[in-house]
Chains A and B, each alone.
Chain A
């Protein structure tokens, strides 16, 4: 394994120098209270560049190959969007500048809010949440304040058992109590079960559409009716919005609050774990609850308004991840209405094509057609002593990335696959071929899987040792 930047340090080297200081430090030394050096590495620019290029070489990334990660929507990140988000007119803005100096930024934000409202059929959007989970949190705050305002003490959020872990976690940090409902044998919310679980205590039904099995809730209209009849709201986790673009507008089918992930559906990069962006949309009745400040268009231009007595307040220091918003806006502009619908159609086509090919080689608990993703199970390989994690690791040996594994929790040995619309048929075929070969290997020489990966920068790492005795920072004495 390569060295850390600390081990490449040599006292006196540097990769950057400031212009000389033209102001004296005289008379200020008493303010300096740090006793010793910070302990920063000292390295020349060339070796620092090589350090990061060495690290870069150990990363899988979209520009290298397909990421079949279910519910993550790892689509291609268009280059032009990166270029445009890097324009000085965007990157150089300070958030406390006078609104007169930031009209372009506000126009872009306003335009994006409008576009998202149109795509999702919602009354209004906020762009403040910095990630999907942050959006869920915001949505829960809105629901809480909405019921508080009505003098209703509703504490329960109903969440299907197929939900992503952020859903119950977001519910809990807002002071609500999550209540899990079981999916039926089709992998869907059962209106009969729902009817029994939803009552005057229920604040919100939090669902993902399509759900994490890649299935559209066939009874969605009935589900929404039951929840609304109980006086509760329906929240939609829009992680899987890619399948619905131009096909279904959540607002039209009665969704009250939702978030989208710009770093999934709207092509902005994941950055190895952020920055993301999780805008939240609400129906017109809830618009006043959105976080402040809000961008308002007036005759004379755009303003930032904090004028709302119902608002949940601020949930970010400023306006959210603006740089990410620029990329998503450029993406929507480029695709237009027809392009966005094509995204959904081809994501559904690609998923069904791949599912159809792999069904049988792996088992499929819930039959299709699927929407943008599907969930296979590797339980048929268990008799060979092979687990889903082994299939995942073997994929890495073939230079591919693994699907989302062991999720959703309701499918044993789950492999959740989302091929996304930007992958070509040849790429899908190549992936399927490898998946088939791995299933064959599992029967003939399972050790190829259980000992995988062997062709990656490192092999399986000792996670148990790390959990028992974490090594969370580099220290010279340990070397």
Chain B
């Protein structure tokens, strides 16, 4: 199968118009010795049914979390996606369009992103949101670079209870710039140790990152941490879960300077972890230091309202090596998903997603509390996710759970040895039922 529409007849006519006899004649600038001899080792072309069969066969070798009772989280969550979101994403007017450089014929994409920016501003309580970053990890890395730029240097404090993968991405992004990153340990409640923050904050610290809730699910006293940082003239970067913001105070309330997070939860399938949706918001005062595209409302020549990309002089295509970031293609379609998701759920529906995640995760926590040998180290101050410690090696437990159709959680001990052996991170979203929770409890009980 080929998607080329030229026939041999077309080719002949076109070559004649150009004035050459063979397509090879057009390849003159490419010296023969540089060219591939023969065919690439890629196999024969396939028809549509053959390709479909081949990929369907591959997909069947997977056992997707969505087909089981999944308690996996850690940044990517199994949530309900309204059919209207899938429908909007399936419209080729959106998915086959290019970056909206020609505003007059891109008003659909531009208005959708403007609405996305507005929704994220409301969720975070911030003034300015960009059109998206690759994922939560790179959004945080860019936020750290941005803070470092605003403060013209300085170290950055991050919570130890941050996703180990996000920490790794942050290291990759900052080591070339020589930015010092220091981890703040968590205390016995799983919260960022405030005394340690106080010790580590120095004159010239660029920023303190607070994760809300943190990777271990614990709700931080973000206001207190923000105040500590601001007292010492450091910026506050909040890494937040968007669904939690239906219930937790928005970072704008505790005067965060930059807010970032992972937006997969907002209407995007898990997709083995990509594409994700990095969101980033900030104060108006910092908008010129912000990376990424920004969409603004404006008026056309006839005074009609429309939308344009704005403050483009920050971006790579104009400022080149002096740009705020190199980002160009971002995750526009995932941002559209997020906008459609938040609009479909509305105030009540979105709150319900958060309430169900909160109440169901606590229901499981309470069920497990009754099981002997089952340790829950960090108390009840959490949103949708908590640490469970089983003590004994986890292999058997996870296998047994899987056999019962349950993905029990993410293993933590390798990344957080201080949690002791057999620690897992358990996430409970609105998709889980009370029956799922009871099954989970029964497996723990049987194995513990």
Contact = CB atoms under 8 A, between A and B. Distances in A.
A272 B169 CA distance: 26
B270 to A, nearest CB: 5
B3 A59 contact: no
B31 A221 contact: yes
A170 interface: yes
A170 B107 contact: no
Interface string A40-70: 1111010011011101111111111001010
Given A55-B111, A90-B272, A467-B311, A83 B352 contact: no
Given A273-B293, A323-B274, A18 B328 contact: no
A446 interface: no
A334 B433 CA distance: 42
A80 B48 contact: yes
A interface SS class: loop
B327 interface: yes
Interface string A343-355: 1011011101100
B29 A35 contact: no
A252 B78 contact: no
A402 interface: yes
A280 to B, nearest CB: 13
A201 interface: no
A133 B91 contact: no
B423 interface: no
A149 interface: no
Given A91-B270, A459-B300, A273 B92 contact: no
Contact of A337 (B43, B80, B294): B43
Interface stretch (A99-107, A190-198, A379-387, A435-443): A99-107
B287 A28 contact: no
A314 B169 contact: yes
A470 B340 contact: no
Interface in B345-388: 345-353, 355-356, 358-360, 362-363, 381, 383
A95 B334 contact: no
Contacts of B54: 333
B109 interface: yes
B18 interface: yes
A388 B349 CA distance: 49
A182 interface: no
Contacts of B40: 118-119, 246, 249, 337, 340-341
A21 B305 CA distance: 42
B6 A38 contact: no
A353 B102 contact: no
Contact of B346 (A41, A141, A345): A41
B17 to A, nearest CB: 6
B273 A95 contact: yes
B242 to A, nearest CB: 10
B5 A424 contact: yes
A59 B105 contact: yes
A398 to B, nearest CB: 11
B133 to A, nearest CB: 9
A62 B6 CA distance: 18
A398 B297 CA distance: 25
Contact of A16 (B30, B84, B298, B358): B84
Contact of A425 (B6, B30, B33): B6
Nearest to B356: A21
A247 B14 contact: no
Contacts of A131: 134, 327-330
A136 B96 contact: no
A21 B348 CA distance: 13
Contacts of B311: 467, 470
A220 B34 contact: yes
A137 B134 CA distance: 13
B344 interface: yes
A108 interface: yes
Interface in B63-116: 63-67, 70, 72, 74-76, 78, 80, 82, 84, 87-88, 90-100, 102-109, 111-115
Contacts of A97: 63, 65, 72, 407
A96 B137 contact: no
Nearest to A271: B333
| Most chain B CB neighbours (cut-off 10 Å) among A92, A215, A460 | A92
A338 interface: yes
Contact of B102 (A134, A291, A326, A402): A402
Contacts of A457: 104-105, 107, 306
Given A61-B92, A472-B294, A273 B332 contact: yes
B174 to A, nearest CB: 10
Contacts of B84: 15-16, 45, 48-49
Interface string B404-416: 0001001000000
A144 B176 CA distance: 8
Contacts of B6: 346, 349-350, 421, 424-425
B433 A22 contact: yes
A471 interface: yes
B332 A96 contact: no
B176 A273 contact: no
Contact of B270 (A61, A94, A291, A470): A94
B95 A52 contact: no
A218 B75 CA distance: 48
B310 to A, nearest CB: 4
A349 B104 CA distance: 31
A43 to B, nearest CB: 6
A273 B346 contact: no
A334 B295 contact: no
A407 B78 CA distance: 43
Contacts of A346: 4, 6, 11
Contacts of A19: 433
B176 A173 contact: yes
A52 B27 contact: no
A275 B275 contact: yes
A305 B293 CA distance: 35
A312 B172 contact: yes
A74 B96 CA distance: 9
A61 B94 contact: yes
B274 A93 contact: no
B18 A272 contact: no
| Most chain A CB neighbours (cut-off 10 Å) among B78, B262, B310, B359 | B310
A313 B297 CA distance: 40
Contacts of A338: 39, 44-45
Interface stretch (B117-125, B188-196, B227-235): B117-125
B289 interface: no
A96 B408 CA distance: 11
A288 B74 CA distance: 28
| Most chain B CB neighbours (cut-off 10 Å) among A74, A272, A393 | A272
Interface in B226-278: 245-250, 253, 262, 269-276
Nearest to A336: B45
Interface stretch (B151-159, B201-209, B316-324, B439-447): B316-324
4 closest Cβ pairs, A-B complex: A318-B273, A92-B66, A95-B273, A89-B59
20 contacts: A25-B355, A55-B109, A91-B269, A94-B78, A134-B138, A165-B317, A165-B318, A220-B34, A263-B329, A272-B99, A275-B331, A323-B274, A336-B46, A401-B105, A422-B4, A458-B103, A467-B310, A471-B298, A472-B117, A472-B294
